[in-house]
Amino acid sequence: MVAGRFSWLSLWNAGLLLAIVALPALTMGGARTWSILPTWGLVLLLLATQAGQIAFRSFGQPLRVNPVDLFAAAFIVYAFIRYLTGPTEYAARLEFFDILSYATVFWTARYGLARAGYGVFYLAGFVAVTLAVALFSFWLHLHPEFHPYGETLHLHYAPRLLGTFGCPNHYGSFLYMGVASALGLALFVERKWLARVILFYVVAVLIVGIVFSLSRGSWIGLFMVLLATTLFCVRHAGLKWYWPVGGLLVLAGMGGALLLCLPSTAGRFDEIRSYMERGDYSHYVRIQLAMDASRIIRDHFWFGTGPATFIHIHPRYQLASYSTLAIYTHDDYLNLWCDYGFIGLVLALGFIGSVTFGLLRRIDFRAPWTHRVLLCAGSAAWAGLLAHSFLDFSMHIPACAFAIFILAGLGLRRREGAPDLSGVRRRPLAWAFSAAVLIGAFFFAAGAVRTARGYYPFQEVEGQLQTISSAEAIPLLQQAALADPRFPTAAERLADFYRVDAAKQPALADRVAPGQEAIRWYLRAIHDDPLDDGIYIHLAMAYDTLQRYNEAYFCYQRVIALQPHNGFFYNQLGLHFWQQGQIDRAMASFTQSTQCPYGGQEADAHLKELQAIKAQMQTPAPALAPAQ
């Protein structure tokens, strides 16, 4: 009776794990708040399930601890401390809840399934999800008029495949984890030849999808998956070495042939070749970001700048040659060091090392095939993503992170030889641990509800930002800002509407009330996110609207000193001088803006207009004819 109940519970856990990885994967990787919030709801359901499973499952077994769990728990504690002490609570909250979610699925995959067969059930579902993502990417490629992610992404990445992610790199990451899972099933499933044939076809489809993504990091990740699978077969399958090596050569040859046949891949290789020939990598985006990250690390070595702060810290450090704004570095390890410091990096590397050691353990080829499937899929996917993370930030994309932590947890579910805590009674400790999980779930739920109450009214305004009126937007944004008092973007957007309303008033006296409201909300946004220099620019614009020029100039000076390569900041400073009639200073600011690597798109038109005005001012008036 008990075993049957827990078998159903394991099936429920496996189904929840599959839903948790599928939902963000099908909605732009879960990298948008609107797609991760429903996923958090599924994680909360999983947390509640695990609390009950811990409290009421069979007792009498010794409690086992090992380095994997110790490093994972230590990093969670450290991340919570940095969440409490970081400069931006809202961004840190989103990241910390993601970390809790990854820990939940990892430990559920490792300890929450009664038998390995439930893990195989999850793998089959995961392969189906990755296949659906790949097939959708092919359909999207054949229908270029359909732009589910907007015109900008479509034009930027075409003709590369994006799948359901909107980004080829993370789409490729997800697919090669599907390749690892499909290969594990195809190689070790017993007496299911039809299933094996279908799975090998699926592997071929996924490889084609990865190749057409034109993501060089994903190509490297795919090769590592194939290499790790080959080594696993040599060590664990009881086969002669030439069989798995031959399979590796066939699959790698198929992918290589596709690469050589695709004309669009030539540009990807030519870019690297040109850097190698010149011997100058300083203009290569990944090298530029690594150099910028090294300067951030130098100034914030031990504790980092705070969770999820790279997006605001990086513009203060970036090279003059870097022509855009970055959300993350193209290196998960450097990004981790920037945000969490050396202490966070050491804890994360300790977890990575202990997981790697656990996945490298030997397993007898006579062991049940389900054990070998899970270990093969987990170790191959782990190898692929560890290598790819040196070149990209897939671990910061929830769908990819959920997938790898579940696969690693399944691969480690048969970890043996861990020390036990002798002298501790199982039942009281289980109840205490269950209570701790429930407390964590309540904390998670409270934060998720608070985030949702603030986010959805804000998103309603953002979805119709070009058409919504101030009378409609301001109540919604007030609701968002009051429901989540630490939501800086809602406060900033609310201030923007007040500022625009003030600017529309012809009389200065009529601008005071909405202008003061704008300033009040900008100051609150700065308090909640002091690293976002863009808020200071909007505050300066509000001061300009009220003709408080000295206060505005102070804001412009501050942000330009922090970000000397931001053309938008110089453009706004030029408008500030123009409004006061200081034409020469305005022209100098616009000229500086056009020379910046990014943000100066509007400055050129302003400069030409001012040059025309100045030319008119310098043209002498025609002499009057003498009176007759």
Query: What are the pLDDT digits (tens) for 105-158?
Result: 999 999 888 889 999 999 999 999 999 999 999 999 888 888 777 766 766 787
Q: Which residue has the tokens 């409290």?
A: 55
Instruction: Determine the average pLDDT of the residues in 484-508.
Output: 96
pLDDT at 58: 45
Residue 423 φ/ψ region, left for φ over 0, alpha for ψ in the -120 to 50 degree band, beta for the rest: left
Distances (CA, A) of 294 to 27, 144, 488: 33, 40, 28
Tokens standing for residue 440: 């964590």
Asked whether the beta carbons of 351 and 101 are under 8 A apart, the reply is no
Give the Cα separation of 34 and 23 in Å (integer): 11
Q: Which of 465, 517, 457, 463 is nearest to 490 (CA)?
A: 457
Distance in angstroms (rounded) separating the CA atoms of residues 169 and 298: 29
Q: At what angle do helices 89-111 and 67-85 cross, to 10 degrees?
A: 160
Among 13-27, 50-64, 279-293, 300-314, the range scoring the smallest mean pLDDT is: 50-64
First to last CA, the chain: 121
Q: Which of 553, 557, 523 is nearest to 541 (CA)?
A: 553
Please classify residue 99 by burial: count the beta carbons closer than 10 Å to its beta carbon, then call 0-12 exposed, 13-18 middle and 19+ buried: middle
CA distances for 508 relative to 515, 516, 519, 548, 579, angstroms = 10, 12, 15, 11, 14
Which residues, in sequence order, are bridge partners of residue 64?
Answer: 420
How many Cα atoms within 13 Å fall on the side-chain side of residue 542? 28
How many CB atoms neighbour CB 47 within 10 A? Answer: 21
Identify the H or E element spanning 77: helix 67-85
Instruction: Determine what percent of the chain is predicted with pLDDT higher than 90.
Output: 65
DSSP letter assigned to residue 605: H
Residues 587, 610 contacting (CB under 8 angstroms) = yes
Distance CA 74, CA 354 (A): 13
CA distance 457 to 468: 13
Q: What pLDDT score does 424 carry?
A: 42
Q: Which structure tokens are listed for 380?
A: 């191959």
Q: 50-59, 196-205, 512-521 — which is least confidently predicted?
A: 50-59
The dihedrals phi and psi of 89, each to the nearest 5 degrees, come to -65, -40
Place of tokens 């529309």: 504
Confidence (pTM): 0.92
CA-to-CA separations, 125 to 71, 348, 368, 522, in angstroms, rounded: 29, 29, 20, 47
pLDDT at 419: 39
Residue 286, CA atoms < 13 Å, CB-side half-sphere: 15
Task: Measure CA 359 to chain center.
Answer: 26
More confident residue, 617 or 102: 102
Q: CA–CA separation, 472 vs 489, rounded Å?
A: 18
Q: Cis check for the bond before 159: say yes or no (omega within 30 of 0).
A: yes
Q: How many CB atoms lie within 10 A of CB 234?
A: 16
User: Can you tell me the distance from the alpha carbon of 50 to that of 47, in angstroms, rounded to the nearest whole number?
Assistant: 5
- The position carrying tokens 């949702």 is 452
Count CB-CB contacts under 10 A for residue 239: 15
Q: Are the C-beta atoms of residues 590 and 574 closer than 8 Å to each other? A: yes
Asked if residue 394 has pLDDT above 80, the reply is yes
* pLDDT, mean over the chain: 88
Q: Which amino acid is at 510?
A: D
Q: H-helix or E-strand containing 81?
A: helix 67-85
283-287, 297-301, 384-388: least confident range: 283-287
In this predicted structure, the answer to whether residue 420 has a pLDDT above a threshold of 70 is: no
Instruction: Please give the pLDDT value at position 601.
Output: 87
DSSP β-bridge partners for residue 566: 598
Output the pLDDT for position 408: 97
Rounded to whole angstroms, how far apart are CA atoms 496 and 477?
11
3-state secondary structure of 420: strand
Instruction: Using pLDDT thresholds of 50, 70 and 90, give the confidence band for residue 625.
Output: very low
Mean pLDDT, residues 397-410 taken together: 97
